[in-house]
Chain A
């Protein structure tokens, strides 16, 4: 299949590379195919008097096995606040994540736990949220997501739908939020956003009228820490809709919702 010597060499070296690369990865543990390899098992030694293994990830599931002090267990995976472990003889079950603080890693140090509760609130990065409210007389529903890239600043986007008897609106914004006192339990915020609004006005007589306009957002409100990974959110939004008519439209919105942060 090769038409010249150079091409032949090229094919040969390519074939060699393809054949050789898995071998090379097999020999040395560091390689670009590393993520395909099974990671080393996370083995810890129980340092508490005993560890209770439940059949499921929750306090409502029954305890069915006990691991004694000094036994070696393998950590498999985590769901919410529960960790699935495998005991010496192969039994698998779920333990509460905080009990990992009473196990020792191969370096004889307790497993380092992530922050939780108020500490987690202090260290929050990502948030997802929903809110319901009144958008100039229409019922509105908003979905948020945000990333806190600096202590005081969060960038994110929101999508929103507002429905009333006379109009349906869909809004999407890119927004930046500033929290002057992010460590306060009740923390005020100021927000600016830019996006688009798509409105469909309807009445019994007229044909529906579709318009798409750019829109600017000024928002202010408070975030309040509710506990665990929840944050309440009460806010006032001022939407400036840049219409193609002579006058811009302005819509006021009040809404209440909650965020989950992680």
Chain B
């Protein structure tokens, strides 16, 4: 009997204690809601921002290949923007050479079809010379920039590699922050010695239109 009383008493005590604890907990929760504003007190760092310094693109254009007529061709481009003025740029492009000046006169073909394939790559440093805006109409303006590029690379032509210097200038219109159209003219200069031609420095001028996306 005594044991039963004891158990009853203890369980009653326990239940009471629990209720008190629960009540205290509830009060605390309500107080928390009142005292703490519903706002996140977080700290902001520059690193939390998404950066968009890389650019990737494709272009299509015409290259005049010295002594070998000219042709349309395409290329790929990647760039890293170091700051608002300078960027690093990599290009790769392909063209097919036409008939040479020697062949036009009725001579034998100087190169096979495979040897007429011209491909190049170059690593350039670019400089945004004139950034600004162009107004299409009273209310529509796009950001634009005129830029210069210079660098070096390699040209593969007639199954031979040529160390090539590149110089160029272009104009770019940003349709949005991250999408732009470009037009540029570049000169690819290298020293060439091919069968039937004297050793000389040649200039292959190319004009391209391109689309680029920042990411």
Chain A residues engaging chain B, CB cutoff 8 angstroms:
40, 42, 44, 55-62, 75-84, 97, 100, 105-107, 109, 111-114, 128, 130, 132, 138-139, 141, 143, 161, 163-165, 168, 200, 202, 204, 208, 228-230, 260
Q: Are A61 and B133 in contact (CB under 8 A)?
A: yes
**Contact A83/B133 with A107-B43, A141-B123, A163-B161 known, Cβ cut-off 8 Å:** no
Q: Are A141 and B153 in contact (CB under 8 A)?
A: yes
**Contact A60/B130 with A111-B45, A228-B83 known, Cβ cut-off 8 Å:** yes
Point out the residues of chain A lying under 8 angstroms from B138, CB to CB.
none
| Smallest CB gap from B90: residue in A | A143
Selected from A60, A81, A109, A128, the residue in CB contact (under 8 A) with B80 is A128
Expressed in whole angstroms, the Cα–Cα distance for A228 and B85 within the complex equals: 11
Q: Are B88 and A130 in contact (CB under 8 A)?
A: yes
| Smallest CB gap from A202: residue in B | B160
Expressed in whole angstroms, the Cα–Cα distance for A97 and B47 within the complex equals: 11
Selected from B43, B49, B85, B152, the residue in CB contact (under 8 A) with A83 is B49
| Smallest CB gap from A169: residue in B | B161
Q: Are B214 and A106 in contact (CB under 8 A)?
A: no
Expressed in whole angstroms, the Cα–Cα distance for A141 and B123 within the complex equals: 9
Expressed in whole angstroms, the Cα–Cα distance for A81 and B153 within the complex equals: 29
Is the interface on chain B under 10, 10 to 19, 20 to 34, or 35 or more residues? 35 or more
**Which among B50-58, B68-76, B111-119 touches the partner chain?**
B50-58
Point out the residues of chain A lying under 8 angstroms from B41, CB to CB.
106-107
Which residues 155-178 of B have a CB within 8 angstroms of A? 159-163, 174, 177
Which residues 125-165 of B have a CB within 8 angstroms of A? 128, 130-133, 141, 143, 145, 151-154, 159-163
Q: Are B174 and A56 in contact (CB under 8 A)?
A: yes
**B1 on the interface (CB 8 Å rule)?**
no
Point out the residues of chain B lying under 8 angstroms from A84, CB to CB.
177
| Smallest CB gap from B42: residue in A | A106
Expressed in whole angstroms, the Cα–Cα distance for A111 and B49 within the complex equals: 11
Q: Are B46 and A80 in contact (CB under 8 A)?
A: no
Q: Are B84 and A112 in contact (CB under 8 A)?
A: no
Q: Are A58 and B128 in contact (CB under 8 A)?
A: yes
Expressed in whole angstroms, the Cα–Cα distance for A211 and B52 within the complex equals: 42
**B77 on the interface (CB 8 Å rule)?**
no
Interface flags, B25-68, vs A, CB<8A=1, else 0: 00000000000000111111111111111000000000000000
State how many angstroms separate the Cβ of A207 from the closest Cβ of chain B.
11
